[in-house]
Amino acid sequence: MAVYTQLGAETLAALIAEFDVGALVSAKGIAEGVSNSNWLIDTSGKDGNGARFILTMFEGRTDVGDLPFFLGLLDHLADKGCPVPRTIHDRAGASFRWIDDKALALIEFLPGVSVSEPTAAQAYAVGGALAQVHLAAQDFGSTRANGMDLTAWKGLLEDCGAQGLAQINPDLAALVAEELPLLAQNWPTDLPRGIVHADLFPDNVLMLDDKVTGLIDFYFACTDILAYDVAVTHAAWCFSNDGTRFDADISQALLAGYEAVRPLSEAERAALPLLARGAAMRFLSTRAYDWINTPADALVVKKDPMAFANRLRFYAAHPALFAA
């Protein structure tokens, strides 16, 4: 469940009154998500016909200093026609407000559901939506360094230690010891960069049939290699959850959808095998760290690091996977 902070009815009504969205009608805590507290908010609407929003309270994981970047990016992308929710600004024009020491943002509600077993047509649409974001963000004025880069993966995995990794799986420390230096030595430095989502998993995409209706959860967005974002999305979409089954049709469709909007250069395509190994390492590192450091009685369900160790092994064993 992901409502870490309880807000009373009066507090919520007073908060909503700070926005020009009508009066609060109902607020329901949303169970999905692990980072922040989210509520589904219904109001009477500006015109009395009702309106729906997502209220997000930023808990510890998001640096509030980054909120102008994240929320400004949503508005920029929405202005350019990307399927992302707008931030609702308060009556004074602010994109987020405070209750006690927690920041809150009111976000446009978008229809759609997250798919758990995507079809090729859906993967094609997701690839296209990702490319649309990459192009639309080109003239977004701000930048943000990727806090979850190779140095960060290394730090998290060192913190786990060989013993911690061995508790997860006896072969994990050896896999990390082999792959991390290889990634560090070969990580590309000259590929096109821009704003990337960096976490475009199926649970961060809302769809109706084959149409992407919402890309959400931009709280890892940053400036990085565009093809790395393709690799992250590939790792997230093209395997069974546990990473043991690769789906070649989904892979082909995702890349074709992306390239229909933004063709990859030869250099980007050539780098994809390594970038995909990096993407797998990124989620392996955060999942391994959380696996070891999340208390047993925590409310969140821990995500399996081995699902991304399996993807990493697969990418390492199939270097020709992305050949055109």
- ∠ CA(41), CA(88), CA(116), 5° rounding? 60
- As a whole number of angstroms, the distance between CA 113 and CA 110 comes to 9
Residue written as token pair 């209706």: 213
Which C-beta is closer to ligand ATP: that of 207 or that of 271? Answer: 207
Among 83, 118, 202, 214, binds ligand ATP (CB under 6 A): 214
The encoded tokens of residue 66 equal 């980054």
Residue 34 sits in the site that holds ligand ATP (CB under 6 A): yes
Which C-beta is closer to ligand ATP: that of 202 or that of 257? Answer: 202
Q: What is the DSSP secondary-structure string of 128-146?
A: HHHHHHHHHGGG-------
The torsion angle over the Cα atoms of residues 58, 14, 53 and 127, rounded to 10 degrees, is -20
The encoded tokens of residue 4 equal 């870490």
Residue 201 sits in the site that holds ligand HSE (CB under 6 A): yes
C-beta of 110: minimal distance to ligand ATP in Å?
4
Q: 269 burial class (0-12, 13-18, 19+ CB within 10 angstroms)?
A: middle
Q: What share of the chain is helix, strand, coil (3-state, %, to 5)?
A: 45, 15, 40
Among 13, 25, 35, 115, binds ligand ATP (CB under 6 A): 35
Residue 107 sits in the site that holds ligand ATP (CB under 6 A): yes
Residue 197 sits in the site that holds ligand HSE (CB under 6 A): no
Q: Where are the beta strands (DSSP E) in the chain?
A: 24-29, 37-43, 51-58, 87-88, 97-99, 102-108, 193-196, 205-208, 211-215, 222-225
> Quick one: which segment of 15-23, 88-96, 101-109, 170-178 binds ligand ATP (CB under 6 A)?
101-109
C-beta of 114: minimal distance to ligand ATP in Å?
6
Which C-beta is closer to ligand ATP: that of 45 or that of 188? Answer: 45
Residue 102 sits in the site that holds ligand HSE (CB under 6 A): no
Residue written as token pair 């140095």: 151
> Quick one: which segment of 5-13, 94-102, 160-168, 212-220 binds ligand ATP (CB under 6 A)?
212-220
What's 172's DSSP letter? H
136 binds, among ligand HSE, ligand ATP, none (CB under 5 to 8 A by kind): none
109 binds, among ligand HSE, ligand ATP, none (CB under 5 to 8 A by kind): ligand ATP
Residue 303 sits in the site that holds ligand HSE (CB under 6 A): yes
- As a whole number of angstroms, the distance between CA 176 and CA 167 comes to 14
Site size for ligand ATP (CB under 6 A)? 18
Which C-beta is closer to ligand HSE: that of 19 or that of 69? Answer: 69
| 257: amino acid identity, one letter | G
Residues interacting with ligand ATP, by CB under 6 A?
2, 30, 32-36, 38, 54, 85, 107-110, 203, 214, 216-217
